[in-house]
């Protein structure tokens, strides 16, 4: 049988040199293991990250060992109670034509009449990713505008449809006319933007006249830079992927991608805010801060310029870092 | 009396030319208004945004009209029930030595024995900003590492101390040795990084050996770029300010600041995620997705490459955008 090993770590875009096909014997199994035949093998963008070293949420693949990922397989031999010959199973498994696995590594695909391959797509990792990103983070509301990048992809195509089911207006960003036609005519997106043909910034302004409330981020880079200024107040950005960054080589610039990659790796939550958003909690804040100030537990410094003629100097000093603590102008002493 | 008007909108850094002092008569008041004498006048970085046009959370200042902001003042004349001569009040008021105001625009500073000027600082807008950013968004836990930029400033100095009170290890980024000494020796920060003298990235790696759990963002730019890679899983980033961006002129690059400014303006929440973070909700997701697939309400496409020898092509195709929907390799038909 054949297996596929990681031959060398790609620097930049992977190529045929990344992969090594090898002919090996079908592995032997213990009595508590099953022999599987691979039916469907999933390839996913996140795997690119595992081909490099460095911190990520998944351990790097090892050079000279088989790659692995989502697979749907059929049981060929089993003496276990859990599985019998002919059963269809799925799991994270090595890229081989035949696989020996522990039944605990496997589950039965829950596809409810859909093709078993959907256990690797809409009813598997990509579908769940779309679901949680859109419904648990994006949370689109009726009448809001949702933009999805990589909108014809495994995740984006589901994410956009889920947003439609919440009554949102959905605009997809894609890389070809045929993908644009697909998401509008088949999936029911309201609009498509073809980033290879259109000025994304101008197209989004036209197609999102009320701004953007949810941006489901799959790509990063210049496409996302066109989105940021159009986000509405209290917009949400589920950061799912940044495919524009995955194939940058070590020396290449990551301008515009400085946030996405580490934020996905570490599942960071970033939230812009101004103090007025919390006006209902002002009382609570004063009740915490005031005793701390009174007891001397919270220190504060005031850099005070004296006299009304010092206002511009005080203001300009903010940007040269001259102040410690609060920069103020004392115009006059209170009268007694 | 004197007032300070916006003379011209600054392009880039404001300067003395931005401001126009003018001698005008003390305004006359109606019987339901009070005459105030300005005691303390606050200058704050956010005011720079109001000097430009363009969308923001606060309306732009008008050229030729008085600037305004937080002021602490004393009542000189009042025939109202609410206020009497000599009372100390605070509010958002014009930059003038004497001000006529409606009592409804004013409130009494709640300073609990602290100097009245603290109504513009620790017990005013900057203190509340630190409180909500740190406690409602950052939510530092005992033993976590918190980094605060502009740590000796009005907001940062309070934010860092509030984090200490939750038992976090707190590292402040400042622009001078004396500010570093101040935050460590006076405010109780654990460490200071002087960005004008130190390599911020290296210093943070040394001083945050367990990574960073909360980054209280006041500055943007290269300092923040040094923080992103050090954020721990599930880190939080309260985006309070981006002072490095405020004085960029129209033509200047905003590299590294593309996210902060629009995210503050619109109070965007961005959250990196991977599907496994939601493993406790997988059941819920399948229960929503499966009927939609079964009823044909959720479309999905599979781009299927046939044969185990097509795995590298299928994988590489992900990055050239060849696939619609889920990219798969069908290795073999299941046996019947």
Per-residue model confidence as pLDDT tens digits over B125-149: 999 999 999 999 999 999 999 999 9
Looking at chain A, which residue has its C-alpha nearest residue B178? A324
**Spatial distance between the Cα atoms of A181 and A186, rounded to a whole number of angstroms:** 8
Per-residue pLDDT at B113: 83
A43/B328 touch (CB, cutoff 8 Å), yes or no: yes
Contacts of A4 in chain B (CB under 8 A): 308, 311-312
Contacts of B293 in chain A (CB under 8 A): 111-112, 114, 118, 122-123
A236: left (phi over 0), alpha (psi -120 to 50) or beta: beta
Mutation to test the A interface, candidates B170, B325, B335, most A Cβ within 10 Å: B325
Contacts of B158 in chain A (CB under 8 A): 289, 298, 300
* A260, containing H or E segment: helix A260-265
CA of A277 vs chain B CAs: smallest distance (Å):
9
B274 has a pLDDT exceeding 90: no
For residue B214, give the nearest of A268, A117, A17, A229 by alpha carbon: A268
Residue entry with tokens 């605009």: A171
**Spatial distance between the Cα atoms of B117 and B176, rounded to a whole number of angstroms:** 25
Contacts of A329 in chain B (CB under 8 A): 40-43
Residue entry with tokens 């400033």: B153
A278/B327 touch (CB, cutoff 8 Å), yes or no: no
Question: Contact at 8 Å (CB) between A184 and A190?
Answer: yes
> Which member of A21, A262, A318 has the closest CB to residue B228?
A262
Bridge partners (DSSP) listed for residue A216? A148
B19/A228 touch (CB, cutoff 8 Å), yes or no: no
C-alpha distance from residue A161 to each of A113, A115, B265, B282, B304 (Å): 20, 19, 29, 19, 21
B253 has a pLDDT exceeding 80: no
**Spatial distance between the Cα atoms of A248 and A246, rounded to a whole number of angstroms:** 6
B323/A153 touch (CB, cutoff 8 Å), yes or no: yes
CB-CB neighbours of B23 under 10 Å: 7
Domain(s) labelled CATH 3.40.50.720 in chain B stretch across 125-271
Per-residue pLDDT at A254: 67
Question: Contact at 8 Å (CB) between A20 and A4?
Answer: yes
Domain(s) labelled CATH 3.90.180.10 in chain B stretch across 2-119
Per-residue pLDDT at A17: 92
> Which member of B132, B271, B316 has the closest CB to residue A281?
B132
- Tens of pLDDT along chain A (336 residues)? 999 999 999 988 899 999 999 999 999 999 999 999 999 999 998 899 899 887 667 789 999 999 999 999 999 999 999 999 999 999 999 999 999 999 999 999 988 888 899 999 999 999 999 999 999 999 999 999 999 999 999 999 999 999 999 999 999 999 999 999 999 999 999 999 999 999 999 999 999 999 999 999 999 888 998 999 899 999 999 999 888 888 887 667 666 677 888 888 888 898 988 888 888 998 898 899 988 988 989 898 899 999 999 999 999 989 888 888 899 899 998 887
Per-residue pLDDT at B273: 86
CA of B125 vs chain A CAs: smallest distance (Å):
7
For residue A238, give the nearest of B204, B153, B274, B287 by alpha carbon: B274
Bridge partners (DSSP) listed for residue B26? none
Rounded mean pLDDT, B284-313:
90
Contacts of A315 in chain B (CB under 8 A): 14, 19, 43, 47
Per-residue pLDDT at B256: 66
Identify the residue with better confidence: A57 or B320: B320
Beta-strand relationship, B169-174 and B145-149: parallel
Contacts of A294 in chain B (CB under 8 A): 112-114
pLDDT > 90 in chain B, percent: 69
pLDDT tens digits for B55-106?
A: 667 789 999 999 999 999 999 999 999 999 999 999 999 999 999 999 999 9
Looking at chain B, which residue has its C-alpha nearest residue A243? B319
Looking at chain B, which residue has its C-alpha nearest residue A215? B270
B255 has a pLDDT exceeding 70: no
B254 has a pLDDT exceeding 70: no
CA of A300 vs chain B CAs: smallest distance (Å):
6
Q: Which CATH number fits domain A2-120: 3.90.180.10, 3.40.1010.10, 3.30.930.10, 3.20.20.100?
A: 3.90.180.10
Supply the ipTM of this predicted assembly. Answer: 0.88
Looking at chain B, which residue has its C-alpha nearest residue A124? B286
C-alpha distance from residue B150 to each of B45, B232, B299 (Å): 12, 21, 50
Looking at chain B, which residue has its C-alpha nearest residue A221? B258
Domain(s) labelled CATH 3.90.180.10 in chain A stretch across 2-120
A275/B132 touch (CB, cutoff 8 Å), yes or no: yes
**Spatial distance between the Cα atoms of A93 and B246, rounded to a whole number of angstroms:** 51
Architecture label for domain B2-119 = Alpha-Beta Complex (3.90)
Residue entry with tokens 């590492």: B145
Q: Which CATH number fits domain B125-271: 3.30.460.10, 3.40.630.10, 3.40.50.720, 3.40.50.300?
A: 3.40.50.720
Per-residue pLDDT at A233: 92
């Amino acid at each position: 049988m054949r297996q596929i090993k990681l031959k060398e770590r790609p620097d930049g875009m992977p190529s045929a040199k990344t992969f090594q096909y090898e002919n090996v014997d079908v592995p032997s199994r213990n009595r508590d293991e099953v022999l599987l035949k691979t039916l469907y093998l999933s390839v996913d963008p996140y795997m690119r990250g595992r081909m490099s070293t460095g911190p990520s949420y998944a351990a790097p693949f090892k050079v000279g060992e088989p790659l692995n990922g989502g697979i749907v397989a059929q049981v060929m031999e089993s003496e276990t109670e859990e599985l019998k010959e002919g059963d269809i199973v799925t799991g994270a498994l090595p890229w081989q034509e035949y696989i020996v696995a522990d039944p605990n590594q496997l589950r039965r695909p829950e596809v409810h009449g859909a093709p078993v391959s959907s256990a690797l797509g809409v009813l598997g990792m990509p579908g769940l990713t779309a679901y949680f990103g859109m419904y648990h983070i994006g949370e689109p509301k009726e009448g809001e505008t949702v933009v999805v990048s990589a909108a014809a992809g495994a995740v984006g195509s589901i994410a956009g449809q889920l947003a439609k089911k919440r009554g949102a207006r959905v605009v997809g960003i894609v890389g070809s006319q045929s993908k644009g036609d697909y998401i509008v005519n088949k999936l029911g997106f309201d609009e498509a933007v073809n980033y290879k043909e259109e000025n994304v910034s101008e197209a989004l302004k036209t197609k999102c006249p009320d701004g953007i409330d949810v941006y489901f981020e799959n790509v990063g880079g210049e496409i996302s830079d066109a989105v940021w200024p159009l986000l509405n107040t209290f917009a949400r950005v589920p950061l799912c992927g940044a495919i524009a960054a995955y194939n940058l080589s070590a020396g290449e610039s990551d301008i515009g991608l400085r946030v996405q990659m580490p934020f996905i790796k570490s599942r960071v939550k970033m939230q812009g805010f101004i103090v007025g958003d919390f006006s209902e909690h002002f009382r609570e804040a004063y009740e915490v801060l005031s005793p701390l100030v009174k007891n001397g537990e919270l220190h504060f410094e005031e850099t005070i310029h004296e006299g009304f003629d010092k206002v511009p100097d005080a203001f300009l000093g903010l940007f040269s870092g001259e102040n410690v603590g609060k920069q103020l102008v004392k115009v006059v002493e209170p009268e007694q």
